[in-house]
Amino acid sequence: MDLRKLKTLIDLVSESNVTELEITEAEGKVRIVKGGAVAQAQIIPVAAQAPVVAAPAAVAAAPAAAEAPAAPAGAAITAPMVGTFYRSPSPGADAFVEVGSQVKEGQTVCIIEAMKILNEIEADRSGTIKQILIDNGQAVEYGQPLFIIE
């Protein structure tokens, strides 16, 4: 997708009441999510099977490599927006998924609250939840891994 078309789409989302726009074309998939006053764009090549993970804006210095945990195997389900992560639909309710849960593509795995709106986050592939990386009620950043799925 050319940059002029992408800029036009970002401007369109920024100036409208639309909070999220996703377009799939032969060259790739574009997802634009409005967060605050500025829209953010994520471009994912169609051929790629692993999700694009954006690093948080501020990253603390990592501890020595010997202390760093090994990267988990599998693909990450990432946060599509900034907000507060919730594992269940309401306080006291069962969590959407647990470690070992089988999920199907499109199945709700959590909720992210952003600007007083509860956004259901869906699995982008089918598989088994191997790891839950975020605690209930924790703030999450755009692109932050939430779950590891195999």
28 plus 86 within the same structural domain: no
Residues 6+ apart with CB under 8 A from 64: none
Tens digits of pLDDT across the chain (150 residues): 667 777 777 777 777 777 787 777 777 777 777 765 444 555 555 544 444 444 444 444 444 444 445 555 778 899 999 999 999 988 888 999 999 999 999 999 999 998 888 899 999 999 999 999 999 999 999 999 999 998
Is residue 58 in some structural domain?
Answer: no
Q: Which domain holds residue 122?
A: 73-150
41 plus 102 within the same structural domain: no
83 plus 36 within the same structural domain: no
Q: How many domains does the chain have?
A: 2
98 plus 147 within the same structural domain: yes
Is residue 68 in some structural domain?
Answer: no
CA angle 136, 99, 44 (to 5 degrees): 80
What are the distances in angstroms from CA 105 to CA 52, 92, 99?
A: 17, 26, 16
85 plus 140 within the same structural domain: yes
CATH number at residue 138: 2.40.50.100
